[in-house]
Amino acid sequence: MLVAYLLFVTTLLYEAAICNAKKVCYKKCECLGTYVDCSKTMVNAFPEALPQWMETLDLSLNKIDGNLTIDTNSYLHLTTLKLTKNSISYFPVFVNKSNISHLNLAHNKIEKLEALENLPNLKTLDMNKNKLIFLDDNTFSQSKHFKILNLNNNFITNLSANCFDALTNLVELKISHNKLNNLPIGLFKKLKNLELLDLSRNHITVIHGLLFMDLVNLKSMILRQNQIEDLQDGSFFGLINLQSLHLEDNNLSKISKGWLYGLNSLVYLNISYNRLDQIKSGWEYCAELEELDLSYNKLQYIEKSNLENLRKLQKLHLNNNRLSFIEEGSFNNTPMLQILQMDHNYLSWLIEDAKETFIGLRNLKKLSLANNKILFIKKEAFSGLDNLDELNLLQNNVLEIQDEAFKYMPNLEYLYLNSSSLVCDCSMSWLKQPNIFEDLPFDYINAFCGFPEKNKGKNLKEISFTDFSCLENSPKPMIVFHPESKMVLERQNITLKCGVNSSSTEKINFVWKKDNHDLESISTNHYSSFEFNGMTQFSVLNLYNISMSQSGKYQCVASNEFGITYSNRSVLSVVVYPFFAKVPGNSSVKTGLTAKLECAANGYPAPQISWQKDGGTDFPAAQERRMKVMARDDVFLIVDVKLVDMGIYSCTAKNVAGMIAANATLNVLEPPWFKTEMSNKQVRVGEEVVLECLSYGSPKPKIKWTKDGIILTLSNRHFFTAENQLLVIMEANTDDSGTYQCEITNSLGVNSQKVDVLVMPLYRSLIHEYTLGLVIIVIIMCIIIIIAIWVLFVYKAKRPSSNLINNADNKSLDSSNSKDSGTGESTKRSQEQLFNELGLSTGQKLNNNVGNLSPEINLPLLTHASVVLGENSVTYKNSKTAIQLPTAKPNETVEDQTTKCDKSSERPCSKPTPLPNETQNSPPIAQQSSSHASFHEPSIEVC
């Protein structure tokens, strides 16, 4: 009861408050709680005596004009003020600071924004449909709380680069339907929190690069209905969070990778109603794109690469273009596509003749091909559309549908088809098979037969299975002669021929296609003849002065009112005979440098360049890895050039059209040089003298011979052979002695070398020979005498001195593994025994007149030996041993073997000069061949 009583009292108090409020409300206004509606009251000034508790005041659709002064001092709760559709000419003047946060001044005549300093809490300002012309730097200087600013439908032509700097919290900015034609760089540099930017319906022609780079939180940008012709590279760089971009109804002619850069978060892109004639790749920057609208452009074809990197695309609008060709596999790059609109194009061949065009669209739900002039639906036309549920083929006068054309779409629910010319013969009977007829959505099919006569005008649903009978002579066209593939040279004339049979006498309509595009303005001939089992109509395509641009696949399409048929595609290959763009030229290069030969050729197909040297493929430079081919620069290089690289180089350019060649001579230059040094010559009178001057160089050096500075000429004794490299002097005489010089010269320098020739008279040569022989004999005799003295001295000695024993070499004179003949005793003897045989006692010294033996000596002691003097040696012989001592060379005398000494001097004699070949290169003095005994050669001092 208490609760009910409290509710009753509260209700009474609320009703009383409302009644009091109504009593104080302005008489022309309506008060709805905190909302005061004074619209359409014909007031011309700000009303007085309004409720102080109001929060929203609506003064729209009145006659307020001129200057409006507002005193909100009594309305502290007022936050929203609507002044739309009045005749206010100046921005209202607020007398004091106001708490208004939402101000709507749309549809007035305000020409300038000012006096905002008393609106410090303003968040939303709507200036739509006014007469603003310019915004300067101080327009929003006190408006830091702005969230939404609407400047649509004004006359703004220019914006100061700093006019928005104070609006750091702005979220939405709308400046559509103005007269902006240029946006200054840095205009949006402070709008870090902006999420929506509407610049549509202006006169903007160019979007400069990096213009929007500071709008890092922008999510939607609208640039529709401008005059944008060019989007510079980096136009949208920095918009890392942009999701929606509207560019429809501009003058864009291309999509380029440069201006798409940076749109990594873009989900929706609309470029409809532009002048795009092709799509280029570049979608890698828009990998998140889900919807792409390219409708109402001038697109003519789509290649496989045009839709790359659109793996998340779900909606693609290509309707109302000029599409006549879509490359097979183009939709493999859009596996997530669900809606594909291609209405109002020229894609009849896509359904009539193409194969597997839609492979890859497993997720497609809706396909629209309305008004594409489709006459025939091929069996494989819709293969790959496993999940399609809606197919629109309206406004196509379809004549024939091939058997099982719809079997690839098991989930089809909506099939929109209208036609009045179906050929309802046995080829269409498959439609009435129960398992097919029941599954087709005939509720959306409005198709009538046009042939044969018995079925003409009947709806497809009304005809029974038996009515689809076969005709003996079908009026449908059938290709019996297909155009042939050809390869032709550029600027030739060719013809392509196509033949069609039909039982109908009606003239066949021929259309020639190139790469699935209809050919226009062509020369054709049509005629009929009785070939191929009936009357055949022919179409001949004439191509004159053919060019490279006419290469492609040609196809003949024949149609009449009963059907359409496509010929095979004939490949026309236009080739261009090779021609040189760079011809190699003759060159001369010094050895050690790099030779460069240029060669480039054009033609179609691009000719292959090959090189030959002297008519063959043997390249010394290639074998030595000194050859380099710079294909990009059309240059053939030989580094570290050598003489073997000299020759004729041939550049060959070859393609299927033919082959051309150009020759260039490479001359290798080398300074003159000698292969060997000339040596002095010494001959006798009457002998032959041959001087060799083997020279090299390139060009081949010229050789000049001089004798003592005088040029030599040919004579009966002087001959030049081997291209002057050999000088032959026959029967030399003393006058031929002198200094001969060989001088070699070419364009790179001069080189020379000299040689002395001595021709000796007959007596000088004989004296020289005899003198040499006498010297040799004297030297040999001296050696023999010295050896004999030494041997006699050894035998006359009786005992070896202790000094000799002590200083002798410790090597024993033994003959291992042998014995004296007849004794059985070992041949080994001690040094004491040796000295005993000499008649010397142990420790006895040699007489002073012999001198000191230094260094120590080992003397070969031979008993029963004989001495035999040889030509160059002295030989000792006994029964078992033969010892040969070397003698001096013939040119040396005995005096050379000893050192002269002064007998009066007590100084010991110096050591003698060793005999030639005795110390360094000669073998030991004595060798025992049979007993293997060895003796050390002693050093002898002679006074």
pLDDT, one tens digit per residue, over 794-841 is 888 754 544 443 443 443 334 333 333 333 443 444 444 434 444 433
Better-scored residue on pLDDT, 600 or 852: 600
Question: Vertex 549, ends 547 and 552: CA angle to 5°?
Answer: 110
Mean pLDDT of 467-494: 87
> Which residues fall within 8 angstroms of residue 903, CB to CB, at 6 or more apart?
943
Better-scored residue on pLDDT, 927 or 122: 122
Instruction: Spell out a b/e string for 314-323, using b for 16 or more CB atoms within 10 Å of the CB, else e.
Output: bbbbbbbbeb
DSSP strand E in 241-358: where?
A: 244-246, 268-270, 291-293, 301-302, 315-317, 325-326, 339-341
Query: How many CB atoms are closer than 10 A to CB 772?
Result: 11
Query: How many CB atoms are closer than 10 A to CB 95?
Result: 11
Q: Supply the pLDDT for residue 137.
A: 87
Strands 65-66 and 87-88: parallel
Return the amino acid letter for 512: W
Q: Supply the pLDDT for residue 11.
A: 53
Instruction: Copy the structure tokens of residue 413.
Output: 């629910």
Residue in 828, 832, 830 with CA at minimum distance from that of residue 800: 832
Q: Place domain 675-760 in its CATH homologous superfamily.
A: Immunoglobulins (2.60.40.10)
Q: Are 369 and 394 in contact (CB under 8 A)?
A: no
Q: Supply the pLDDT for residue 471.
A: 76
Residue in 666, 576, 656, 657 with CA at minimum distance from that of residue 612: 666
CATH of domain 299-469: 3.80.10.10
Strands 35-37 and 478-481: unpaired
Instruction: Spell out a b/e string for 600-610, using b for 16 or more CB atoms within 10 Å of the CB, else e.
Output: bbebbeebebe
Cα-based torsion angle of the residue sequence 587, 588, 591, 593 in order, rounded to the nearest 10 degrees? -50
Mean pLDDT of 644-653: 90
Q: Supply the pLDDT for residue 290.
A: 96
Better-scored residue on pLDDT, 404 or 13: 404
Q: Supply the pLDDT for residue 903.
A: 38
Q: Are 633 and 554 in contact (CB under 8 A)?
A: no
pLDDT over 60 (residue 635): yes
> Rounded distance, CA 337 to CA 381, Å?
18
Q: Supply the pLDDT for residue 870.
A: 44
Is the link from the previous residue into 483 a cis peptide, with omega within 30 of 0? no
Q: Supply the pLDDT for residue 3.
A: 56
3-state SS class at 573: strand
Residue that the structure tokens 């004009």 belong to: 65
Mean pLDDT of 513-520: 83
Better-scored residue on pLDDT, 580 or 862: 580
Question: What are 163-191's pLDDT values in tens digits?
Answer: 999 999 999 999 999 999 989 999 999 99
pLDDT over 60 (residue 147): yes
Mean pLDDT check: name the lowest of 33-37, 146-150, 340-344.
33-37
pLDDT over 50 (residue 922): no
Provide φ and ψ at 340, rounded to 5°: -130, 115
Provide φ and ψ at 135, rounded to 5°: -120, 120
> Rounded distance, CA 460 to CA 570, Å?
37
Q: Are 206 and 160 in contact (CB under 8 A)?
A: no
Q: Supply the pLDDT for residue 918.
A: 38
Q: Supply the pLDDT for residue 100.
A: 93
Cα-based torsion angle of the residue sequence 937, 872, 874, 870 in order, rounded to the nearest 10 degrees? 160
pLDDT over 90 (residue 276): yes
pLDDT over 60 (residue 940): no
> Rounded distance, CA 140 to CA 131, Å?
17
Query: 76: pLDDT confidence band, cut at 50, 70 and 90?
Result: confident
Strand (E) or helix (H) holding 807: helix 802-807
Better-scored residue on pLDDT, 840 or 668: 668
> Rounded distance, CA 652 to CA 741, Å?
49
pLDDT over 90 (residue 152): yes
Q: Are 301 and 325 in contact (CB under 8 A)?
A: yes
Query: 655: pLDDT confidence band, cut at 50, 70 and 90?
Result: very high
> Which residues fall within 8 angstroms of residue 303, CB to CB, at 6 or more apart?
327, 330
Better-scored residue on pLDDT, 879 or 454: 454
pLDDT over 50 (residue 703): yes
Q: Supply the pLDDT for residue 712.
A: 85
pLDDT over 70 (residue 921): no
* Percentage with pLDDT > 70 across the chain: 80
Residue in 834, 831, 828 with CA at minimum distance from that of residue 815: 828
Question: What are 395-453's pLDDT values in tens digits?
Answer: 998 988 888 888 888 889 999 999 888 888 888 888 888 777 777 787 788 888 888 88
DSSP strand E in 72-215: where?
A: 80-82, 87-88, 93-94, 102-104, 124-126, 134-135, 148-150, 158-159, 172-174, 196-198, 206-207
CA distances from 338 to 116, 386, 390, 415 (A): 51, 12, 11, 16
Q: Where are the domains of the chain?
A: 33-131, 144-286, 299-469, 478-573, 583-669, 675-760
* Percentage with pLDDT > 90 across the chain: 35
Better-scored residue on pLDDT, 473 or 104: 104
> Which residues fall within 8 angstroms of residue 897, CB to CB, at 6 or more apart?
782, 783, 786, 888, 912, 913, 915
Mean pLDDT of 605-629: 85
Q: Supply the pLDDT for residue 544.
A: 92
> Which residues fall within 8 angstroms of residue 324, CB to CB, at 6 or more apart?
300, 301, 345, 346, 347, 349, 516, 517, 518
Mean pLDDT of 289-295: 96
**Mean pLDDT taken over the chain:** 80
Rg (CA), the chain: 60
DSSP state of 829: B
CATH of domain 144-286: 3.80.10.10
Q: Supply the pLDDT for residue 10.
A: 59
CA distances from 336 to 309, 391, 851 (A): 12, 18, 123
Query: How many CB atoms are closer than 10 A to CB 822?
Result: 6
Return the amino acid letter for 620: P
DSSP state of 484: P
Does the domain spanning 478-573 belong to CATH 3.50.50.60?
no
Question: What are 216-264's pLDDT values in tens digits?
Answer: 999 999 999 999 998 888 999 999 999 999 999 999 998 888 889 999 9
Query: 715: pLDDT confidence band, cut at 50, 70 and 90?
Result: confident
> Rounded distance, CA 881 to CA 884, Å?
10
Instruction: Copy the structure tokens of residue 390.
Output: 């809606």
Q: Which class does domain 33-131 fall in?
A: alpha beta
CATH T-level topology, domain 583-669 = Immunoglobulin-like (2.60.40)
CA distances from 402 to 342, 429, 693 (A): 22, 10, 95
